[in-house]
Amino acid sequence: MGMGKRGLLATAVTVVCAVTVLAAPGTAFANASRVPDPTPATSTAPGAAPGATPGAPGTLPTPLPDKDLERVRARLDGLYHDAAVATDAYNAAEERTKAQSAQLADLAKRTAEVQRRLAKLKDQAGASARAQYRNGGLTPTAQFLLSGDPQQVVDGAGTVLNGQRATKKLIAEVGRTERQLGQYTDEAAAQMEKLEADRKAKEAARKEIRQRIDDAEKLESRLEKKQKERLAFLERQAARRAQTAWLGSGVLRTATGKASTQGGEAVAFATAQLGKPYVWGAEGPDSFDCSGLTSQAWAKAGHPIPRTSQEQWKQLTHVPVADMRPGDLVIYFADATHVAMYIGDGKIIHAPRPGRTVTVAGAGSMPILGVVRPDA
């Protein structure tokens, strides 16, 4: 009995060493990974690193109880969820930088046009000044007033008035053009500031993604082959339980919707991507993240939708889960950080997470936030 208790304590120590190293505070995306660690033991074997197994340094001992593997699985889920949050932030910043770059290009084009117009106006003003110089420095108005020829007075009156109007118009046009040029310059400066801010946001999100994925891979690397196999089994088992419970609720009892033409095309595209790897920030053709897959599927169907899962949830039409049809998008988790495409019969196609490929899964295998319909 004493040895059994000591063995459980030693096992607890190894799991703590594997997971608590990843729980350092200060991350902006840490909420989802706050999973309680196993109770730490008070001692380890003399001369051995915590969690070490003779002949296999750095690995967790075999066998590892399912309750501890479940905690490892929960920690991994939290880390990959944090990576998904950061990926959505990265994708959103990427979309903003694309839009801002396009706006800057348009501003540059309009600025160049205004600069050409201003140069032309100044040339006209210069031509008028040169003409005045050729006439001895007298303006047409002065020449008119000094003329002693009555007929010239009559003939020149209309010319003077037209000249005055043209001069005023030229001056006003130069002023408007200069103000417009200043406005475009200010707009370009503001857009550049936004662009730089979003570039920094992208870089911060990129670092966060890499850190979370690296943390998860380090934790997984401490597992032996049999532990990894058991962990994968527990993941599949948990997904099956969730799917069975979801279907058992009768949520799809009245679901008879058929895919629209565009929805069918989107499903066909998603199906053709099965087996391709998940890569954060990717939107094809060789790899995808979750919203990269759904946005590209609907773009290929001729109906562009927002790039990120959170914007898809915000902007697309919500439909009841019981009324969903193939092609609809299922949004997961309270923060809308995962999205999949419904394909019928209670199933989805999605790009799950780093280290996985585009696959078919049960629609109820993850916590559903809601369903949206791109072509409602």
Catalytic residue IDs: 290, 338, 350
Measured between alpha carbons, how far is residue 239 from residues 242, 252, 288, 364 in Å?
5, 18, 22, 8
**Pairwise CA distance, residues 50 & 16, whole Å:** 9
Measured between alpha carbons, how far is residue 69 from residues 14, 61, 111, 185 in Å?
11, 11, 62, 59
Measured between alpha carbons, how far is residue 215 from residues 39, 59, 157, 225, 242 in Å?
21, 15, 87, 19, 27
Residue 297 CB neighbour total at 10 angstroms:
29
Q: Across the strands, what pairs with 342? A: 348
**Pairwise CA distance, residues 309 & 302, whole Å:** 19
Name residues whose C-beta falls within 8 Å of residue 332's C-beta, 6 or more positions apart in sequence: 338, 339, 340, 366, 367, 368, 369
**Pairwise CA distance, residues 106 & 144, whole Å:** 48
Name residues whose C-beta falls within 8 Å of residue 198's C-beta, 6 or more positions apart in sequence: 93, 96, 97, 100
Measured between alpha carbons, how far is residue 186 from residues 104, 111, 197, 245, 301 in Å?
11, 11, 17, 58, 39
**Pairwise CA distance, residues 118 & 296, whole Å:** 44
Angle, CA 259 vertex, CA 258 and CA 264 arms, to 5°: 145
Return contacts of 181-186, CB within 8 angstroms, 24+ apart: 181/111, 181/114, 181/115, 181/118, 184/107, 184/110, 184/111, 184/114, 185/111
* Alpha carbon of residue 219 to chain centroid: 26
